[in-house]
Amino acid sequence: MPTGVPLPLRVGVAVFLNDAGKVNEAAGTYEASIDVRLRWRDPSLAFNAKEFGGDRQEFNSEQMVTQLRKMWNPRLTLANMVGTPSRTDGGLFIYANGTVEHIQRLRLTLDTKYRLNAFPFDTQALGVRLLSTRYTQNQIALVQDQSDINASGIKENLKISGWKTRRVDFAASGNRGWNGDTYPEISASFFIHREPYAHLFALLIPFLLTLLVPTIMTLYVKADIAPRMTLWGASILALIALNFTFSVRYSALGGDSLVQQLITIGFGYQLLLIAITSTFMNPQVGPKLFSEHVMAEIVAFLRWSVPIGLLALIITRSLLTAFS
């Protein structure tokens, strides 16, 4: 540890997101290019700026590795990194007053926890977790002052396919080690919001098409019960196939997602229309239930209320998912 500084030693942390992609909800990972800046003060490294001819010493990537071996550094770990970085660049700056800046640009894969309850209206946090595994909270403190806040953020006009970038937040915490000591940790969360429209069209168009033709045949076309029931049987098989397709494409979604709610609504709608086909729209059963005039009113009511009820239910569930 550096001498002549109060403990815990303050280590400033800044994280900047340069690029991101391959957001994989099923695997719980994403790829990113990030800049990580660590800043601390070590009085033993102070020097005379006039004698040196400048107020800071600079070390490039190769020189940085050698210099870091000779001096104290916090040796933080990227706790949620998957594998090793595919690319590493950076540098080291030592200022005349002993302030040290260690900057790394990393291209890597990180794991993160996706919350998909609000899919496809969800906002996700792409996390970067920096953890001290060597020094406890009594020895170092991971902090942010205004300089670190200014150096953190998201690249302007950064584009992630299917997403819009929002903001970055930081949260400091402690991680209990196996020996009972608490080690400092700081997490950067880069918030991105999903663009829902492509997913909504991909969900709703095939879903509604599986129900459209049988609904028309049941409510608006005079036909025998046999061809109507045949169409509903085909509709059930189509919805089962659609459910399988959605479960493969959106394998990370839970049972309470909008996708599963749509499938449940679809099966319920099919059951309702089969019951209507077998009773009110059945020439052999309908006249036995009510008089001709009453049946005419019931059929007229069903022709507009059933489709509108389906659309209203879909819109309601979508809005509840979006604003929950």
Residue 49 has pLDDT above 90, yes or no: no
CA 149/CA 15 separation, integer angstroms: 9
Eight-class DSSP state of 160: B
> What pLDDT was estimated at residue 142?
96
> What pLDDT was estimated at residue 95?
94
Residue 164's pLDDT band, with cuts at 50, 70 and 90, is very high
Query: Which has more pLDDT, 211 or 177?
Result: 211
Q: Which residues of 38-63 are buried (b: 16+ CB within 10 A; e: fewer)?
A: bbbbbeebebeeeeeeeeebebeeee
Eight-class DSSP state of 42: -
Asked if residues 299 and 280 have their Cβ atoms less than 8 Å apart, the reply is: yes
Residue 313's pLDDT band, with cuts at 50, 70 and 90, is very high
Residue 236's pLDDT band, with cuts at 50, 70 and 90, is very high
What is the SS3 assignment for 144?
coil
Residue 307 has pLDDT above 90, yes or no: yes
Helix 197-219 with 225-249: angle, nearest 10 deg: 170
> What pLDDT was estimated at residue 310?
96
Q: Which of 112, 121, 110, 127 is nearest to 191 (CA)?
A: 127
Question: Token pair for residue 270?
Answer: 């099919």
How many Å from the N-terminal Cα to the C-terminal Cα in the chain? Answer: 48
Strand (E) or helix (H) holding 192: strand 182-194
CA 249/CA 206 separation, integer angstroms: 14
Residue 189 has pLDDT above 90, yes or no: yes
CA 300/CA 162 separation, integer angstroms: 43
Query: Which has more pLDDT, 85 or 101?
Result: 101
pLDDT digits (tens, 9 = 90+) for 243-295: 999 999 988 888 888 999 999 999 999 999 999 999 888 888 877 888 888 88
% of the chain at pLDDT higher than 70: 100
The DSSP bridge partners found for residue 172 are 186
Residue 117's pLDDT band, with cuts at 50, 70 and 90, is confident
The DSSP bridge partners found for residue 295 are none
The Cβ-side half-sphere exposure at 244, using a 13 Å CA radius, reads: 5
CA 87/CA 77 separation, integer angstroms: 16
> What pLDDT was estimated at residue 290?
84
> What pLDDT was estimated at residue 222?
83
> Within its chain, how far is the Cα of 234 from the centroid?
36
